[in-house]
């Protein structure tokens, strides 16, 4: 047995194990072999609690890395040559079988973005968390929006987790919050004020061109329906006798211009909405004005859609976005005080915010909005400000 005095030691006098060494600049290295090829682990610390040299980035100690390597070898983890792109394509192929077409389309877009960058050709066993973070930062620096980067992360994270579960890698390098790395530059779609909503609706109601859309705009502002749910409504979904709206599907038009019916966004999206008197009158007017056709367009077995376009197909979300945009632009060209951005989703935000301000029970509001998580109802859509808080405090003080 060798004497400790002739064994290699580090600058602190600690005995180094086989394969360990320390460079003149203080950095530690552990060398090992895979299929006859030398590989190395590096660190500025030998043990977990060693002090990091001044000016050096935080890192795992060499012996922490050695333990991970030993665990990896003990578990028999296979070091495959699979690339990031190959892994994500495998994940998408398995996952998309059970997903809606809208989600599949999002995966396709994310994969196309991933193919452009060298990161997609990296071997999955070599990818580090810091490398992933730098990749996301590069995407943002090159002008990619937060939503696009989130979509890429949305397939990378579960794909790498699949690799962990399959014993291809030891840890998931995407296991961190995206917001901790890149700036969320998404534009918040605020609810508009009641004053602005009324200005817009009054203008539309009396405009010679846009008045034909008044009932639809009013319904969107006063039911909180998703625009795809509204577009999917058929005559059978409108129960004037019971004054309720049955929502159990949505109408989608894909980028290839093909139409399809999908289930609601979440299970909670399937619901029945009660009609107020005004909403009831709007639906009654829509049905009375609706042109009777000998041949109705049929989408996945559904027929009797409320609005049909010039091509004899059901109107979709893009139609209503454009109608609202053009109506707002016309208003702003005629009046000094401009209207804020108005979209079908702004209508949804506005309805939820108005119901919250009116004191509606949060669980009731969650049901009406079709949210699966009440946190979305409370935190995402109810844009309450100081004036709302002051009004509520004053109201409670009077009641007290």
Domain definitions of the chain by residue range: 4-74, 84-180, 194-341
Catalytic residue among 153, 271, 319, 348: 348
Confidence of residue 97 (pLDDT cuts 50, 70, 90): low
Q: Is 157 a catalytic residue?
A: no
Q: Which fold has domain 194-341?
A: hpI Integrase; Chain A (1.10.443)
Query: Which residues lie closer than 8 Å to 105 by C-beta, 6 or more apart?
Result: 254, 255
User: How long, in residues, is the chain?
Assistant: 400
User: Smallest Cα–Cα separation from 153: which of 104, 105, 114, 194?
Assistant: 114
Q: Which contacts of 67-76 are long-range, i.e. CB under 8 A and separated by 24 or more positions?
A: 68/170, 68/171, 69/32, 69/41, 71/170, 72/170, 75/167, 76/167
Confidence of residue 106 (pLDDT cuts 50, 70, 90): confident
pLDDT at 327: 97
Q: What are phi and psi of 186, to 5 degrees?
A: -65, 140
Least confident span in 80-94, 110-124, 379-393: 379-393
C-alpha span between 133 and 63 (Å, rounded): 24
pTM given for the model: 0.64
pLDDT at 388: 62
- In this model, does residue 332 exceed pLDDT 70? yes
pLDDT at 380: 47
Q: Which fold has domain 4-74?
A: Double Stranded RNA Binding Domain (3.30.160)
Q: Is 265 a catalytic residue?
A: yes
Between residues 220 and 48, which one has the greater pLDDT?
A: 220
Catalytic residue among 122, 199, 345, 357: 345
Which DSSP state fits 378? I
* CB neighbour burial string for 323-333, b if at least 16 within 10 angstroms, e if fewer: bbeebbeebee
Kindly report, residue by residue over 24-46, the tens digit of the pLDDT.
Answer: 999 999 998 877 788 899 999 99
Domain 84-180 has CATH 3.30.70.141: no
Q: Is 381 a catalytic residue?
A: yes
Catalytic residue among 157, 222, 226, 253: 226
Give the mean model confidence (pLDDT) for residues 368-379: 79
Query: Which residues lie closer than 8 Å to 356 by C-beta, 6 or more apart?
Result: 362, 365, 381, 382, 384
Give the mean model confidence (pLDDT) for residues 373-386: 62
What are the start-end ranges of the H helices in the chain? Answer: 62-74, 84-95, 101-116, 129-141, 146-165, 194-206, 214-223, 227-232, 277-289, 317-334, 344-357, 362-369, 374-376, 386-399
Q: Is 226 a catalytic residue?
A: yes
Torsion angle in degrees (nearest 10) through CA of 339, 343, 347, 348: -150
Catalytic residue among 265, 284, 303, 330: 265
For the chain, report the end-to-end CA distance as a whole number of angstroms.
86
User: What average pLDDT is seen over the chain?
Assistant: 87
């Amino acid at each position: 047995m060798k004497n400790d005095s002739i064994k290699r030691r580090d600058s602190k006098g600690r005995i180094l194990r086989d394969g360990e060494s320390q460079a003149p600049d203080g950095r530690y290295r552990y060398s090992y072999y895979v299929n006859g090829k030398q590989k190395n682990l590096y660190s500025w610390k030998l043990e977990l609690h060693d002090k990091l040299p001044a000016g050096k980035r935080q890192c795992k100690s060499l012996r922490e890395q050695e333990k991970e390597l030993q665990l990896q070898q003990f578990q028999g983890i296979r070091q495959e040559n699979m690339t990031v792109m190959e892994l994500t394509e495998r994940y998408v192929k398995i996952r998309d079988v059970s997903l809606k077409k809208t989600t599949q389309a999002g995966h396709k877009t994310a994969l196309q973005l991933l193919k452009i960058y060298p990161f997609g050709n990296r071997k999955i066993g070599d990818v580090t968390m810091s490398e992933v973070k730098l990749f996301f930062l590069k995407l943002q620096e090159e002008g990619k929006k937060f939503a696009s980067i989130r979509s890429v992360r949305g397939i990378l994270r579960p794909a790498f987790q699949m690799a962990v579960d399959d014993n291809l890698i030891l840890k998931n390098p995407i296991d961190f919050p995206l917001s901790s790395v890149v700036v969320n530059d998404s534009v918040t779609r605020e609810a508009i004020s009641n004053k602005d909503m009324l200005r817009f609706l009054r203008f539309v109601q009396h405009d010679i061109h846009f008045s034909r859309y008044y009932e639809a705009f009013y319904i969107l502002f006063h039911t909180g329906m998703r625009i795809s749910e509204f577009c999917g409504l058929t005559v059978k979904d409108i129960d004037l006798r019971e004054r309720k709206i049955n929502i159990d599907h949505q109408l989608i038009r894909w980028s290839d211009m093909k139409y399809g019916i999908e289930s609601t966004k979440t299970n909670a999206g399937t619901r029945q909405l009660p009609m107020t008197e005004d909403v009831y009158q709007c639906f009654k007017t829509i049905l009375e004005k609706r042109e009777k056709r000998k041949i109705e367009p049929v989408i996945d077995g559904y027929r009797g859609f409320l609005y049909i376009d010039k091509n004899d197909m059901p109107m979709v979300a893009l139609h209503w976005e454009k109608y609202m945009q053009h109506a707002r632009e016309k208003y702003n060209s005629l009046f000094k005080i401009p209207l804020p951005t108005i979209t079908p989703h702004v209508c949804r935000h506005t309805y939820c915010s108005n119901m919250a301000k009116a004191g509606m029970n949060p669980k009731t509001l969650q049901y009406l909005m079709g949210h699966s998580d009440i946190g979305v109802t409370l935190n995402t859509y109810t844009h309450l400000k100081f004036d709302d808080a002051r009004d509520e405090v004053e109201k409670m003080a009077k009641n007290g």
